[in-house]
Amino acid sequence: MIYSIFAQRDATIYEKSVEMNTGIDSLLEISHEQPGSGSKIFNARVLIKFDVSDIQSKINSNKISSNAKYYLSLITADVRDIPQEYTVYAYPVSSSWTNGTGRWGNNPITKDGVSWKYFSSKTTGKEWDIPPTISNYEWDNLSQTWVDANILFGSNLSVYVTSSYFGNEGGGTWWDYDNLECTQSFIFQSSDIYMDVSSIVKKWVTGSGRLDNDGFILKFSNDIESSLENLTGLKFFSTDSNTIYVPRLNIVWDDSVFITGSLSQISEDNVNLNVKVKKFYAQNEKAKIRIYGNTRYPQKNYTTQSYQTINYYLPSSSYYEIRDAHTDEVVLPFDYTGSKISCDGTSSYFNLWMDSFQPERFYRVVVKVERDGGNNVQTFDNNYYFKVTR
């Protein structure tokens, strides 16, 4: 199963304009700029938050597996002079922040929300609590301040907050302990982000040492951020972009069952699939999409029923994908864990939660069948359309 939720809020913070808020800008930006010899270095980082309270309740009620994986999805809008190989880093933000109503290019700039210098706004004057440079200072959760570790009578604080900046002080603060650093490396490939952020999200929703969910901060590596190269930049569609390309958090787990009953497996040749989707689904529906398989040219023999009513099941190595019908953008991708097709003795099927989709749009189902360890692949894309309504 792949269940997708949308970002609650997002913003870019710019080292070049430390008080500027971009809380409702249509684009998010991770960038590095070094204007010229002797100039300051300026970076831009992304803050993005998802409401995971519903995920927590679904885990508690066994609707979502506690072993689920979590993937952050951002779609690229623009790329500028990125290196052939680079890595994007994600950390859990260690402070709450105010989204604000600013956009890049506002004149005068908007200062009513999060920025490079302030986690709330210029108006309230609450700056990011940047860690001291002295190595024996640690963050005390009780007092919410930095304290000298020696004063804590030997107490062993296991939670650390960190930050970094190269031109102007600020740039956010984040938790950095217990494998909470998530990364995605890029080598000659699309700059769209699909990053495994399971270690962070699980700290928000399950397990011991739970953290408050203040969202993610995304940035380049310190090597790029401190580089003397002139310009490197990635722009992504934001939650305020009014497009289908908004940020998503995909929750992926294996909900498949495989009970074939009296059904026979469909042969490799002569395959005809009928994916039984309704024309319309309400956004709150949880649908069971059945797939009926039969042979396109059945062998004639004596029978008391129509050949077209004889149903076969798909192999266990079969998967589904959901695409936007208008743009052909992949909304829920083929996944060897999350998009397995099940069988219950009546037919093959898969489950789909319709609140994973933006309403008032049409979507298309694509089915893939793998055989011989993936060496033989059949794809069925035969106009299986449905629409999600409000």
Per-residue pLDDT of the chain (390 residues; tens, 9 = 90+): 999 999 999 999 999 999 999 999 999 999 998 877 667 889 999 999 999 999 989 998 999 999 999 999 999 999 998 888 999 999 999 999 999 999 999 999 999 999 999 999 888 888 998 766 544 555 566 666 656 555 544 444 444 778 888 888 999 999 887 778 999 999 988 999 999 999 999 999 976 567 889 999 999 999 999 888 777 899 999 999 999 999 999 999 999 999 999 998 988 777 789 999 999 999 999 999 999 988 766 566 655 555 456 789 999 999 999 999 999 999 999 999 999 999 999 999 999 999 999 999 999 999 999 998 888 999 999 999 999 999
pTM score, whole prediction: 0.89
Strand order in the sheet with 376-389: 280-282, 376-389, 361-371, 318-324, 330-332
Could you write out the three-class secondary structure of the chain? CEEEEECCEEEEEECCCCCCCCCCCCEEEEEEECCCCCCCCEEEEEEEECCCHHHHHHHHCCCCCCCCEEEEEECEEEEECCCCEEEEEEEEECCCCCCCCCCCCCCCCCCCCCCCCECCCCCCCCECCCCCCCCCEEEECCCCEEEEHHHHCCCCCCCCEECCCCCCCCCCCEECCCCCCEEEEEECCCCCEEEECHHHHHHHHCCCCCCCCCCEEEEECHHHHCCCCCEEEEEEECCCCCCCCCCEEEEECCCCCEECCCCEECCCCCEEEEEECCCEEECCCEEEEEEEEEECCCCCCCCCCCHHHCCEECCCCEEEEEEECCCCCEEECCCCCCCECEEECCCEEEEEEHHHCCCCEEEEEEEEEEEHHHCEEEEEEEEEEEEEEC
Q: What pLDDT, on the 0 to 100 scale, is given for residue 158?
A: 40
Question: How many whole angstroms separate alpha carbon 160 and alpha carbon 200?
Answer: 14
Residue 33, judged by CB atoms within 10 A of its CB (0-12, 13-18, 19+), counts as buried
Q: What pLDDT, on the 0 to 100 scale, is given for residue 227?
A: 87
Q: What pLDDT, on the 0 to 100 scale, is given for residue 151?
A: 53
Question: How many whole angstroms separate alpha carbon 161 and alpha carbon 177?
Answer: 8
Q: What pLDDT, on the 0 to 100 scale, is given for residue 319?
A: 97
Q: What pLDDT, on the 0 to 100 scale, is given for residue 297?
A: 60
Q: What pLDDT, on the 0 to 100 scale, is given for residue 268?
A: 77
Q: What pLDDT, on the 0 to 100 scale, is given for residue 135?
A: 46
